[in-house]
Amino acid sequence: MSSILDDEDVTFICNGHRVHPSAIADVKARYGYEQVDEPLSVWLPKQRETSPHWFIPEPKEPSDEDEDAAVFTSADAQAAYIREHGRDALAAKLAERGMKIGQVAKREPKPVADAAKPSTNPWSDTWRGTPEQRQAAQLRVITTGGAKLASQLAKAGGKTITGQPLRGK
């Protein structure tokens, strides 16, 4: 059945079902390989479960909760809310959390990367090896990379080239 479809037909059907342009050839190949007895337009939506990577994700529709949450953390969102719903509606919304117009709540900070991650810099406090390996790595950097590279690495690690803490740190 797939031999009846030409590339333009397959592309048209795939675009209608929000298939990534780069996956259209895969769709056509699998449809032909499986020799399905149903039309491509019926078969293709069933593939979302087994081949979700073929499809462009559906756009997320913002919910009322998402829009309202921004009102508490952004003055710009408050201004937009006033234009759409009025000043009294915003005042009532903010009063639910004991806030006033123009007042914004602090946003939750984004999670910080793990600071204890082992470092490959032998002058760093979080060096990943033993003290003997650290000393050997420092010596290797000094002899192969020179004193300038060694001092830059040491400074990045918060130390002098001799391993002493930097002044003011």
Does 4 have pLDDT greater than 70? no
Instruction: Give the mean model confidence (pLDDT) for residues 128-142.
Output: 90
Same domain, 127 and 169: yes
Rounded Cα distance between 17 and 21, Å, is 11
pLDDT of residue 1: 43
Same domain, 122 and 165: yes
Range of the domain at 22: 2-54
Residue corresponding to tokens 């760093």 = 124
Instruction: Give the mean model confidence (pLDDT) for residues 10-36.
Output: 89
Does 19 have pLDDT greater than 90? yes
Rounded Cα distance between 35 and 140, Å, is 63
- DSSP code per residue over 80-109: HHHHHH-HHHHHHHHHTTT--TT--PPPPP
Helix 75-85 to helix 64-73 angle (10° resolution) is 130
Does 69 have pLDDT greater than 70? yes
Same domain, 44 and 78: no
Give 37 or 62, the one with higher predicted confidence. Answer: 37
Instruction: Give the mean model confidence (pLDDT) for residues 3-31.
Output: 87
Same domain, 126 and 92: no
Does 66 have pLDDT greater than 60? no
Q: Which of the listed residues 54, 70, 86 is the one where a domain comes to its end?
A: 54
Same domain, 164 and 137: yes
Same domain, 7 and 24: yes
pLDDT band at 2 (very low <50, low <70, confident <90, very high): very low
Q: Which of the listed residues 10, 38, 54 is the one where a domain comes to its end?
A: 54
| pLDDT > 90: percent of the chain | 25
Q: Which of the listed residues 108, 124, 143 is the one where a domain comes to its end?
A: 108
Query: Into how many domains does the chain fold?
Result: 3
Computed on alpha carbons and rounded to an integer, the radius of gyration of the chain in Å comes to: 30
pLDDT band at 164 (very low <50, low <70, confident <90, very high): confident
Instruction: Give the mean model confidence (pLDDT) for residues 135-164.
Output: 90
Does 167 have pLDDT greater than 50? yes
Chain-centroid distance, C-alpha 127: 28
Does 159 have pLDDT greater than 60? yes
Instruction: Give the mean model confidence (pLDDT) for residues 6-20.
Output: 89
Rounded Cα distance between 80 and 35, Å, is 54
Instruction: Give the mean model confidence (pLDDT) for residues 64-85.
Output: 79
Same domain, 25 and 75: no
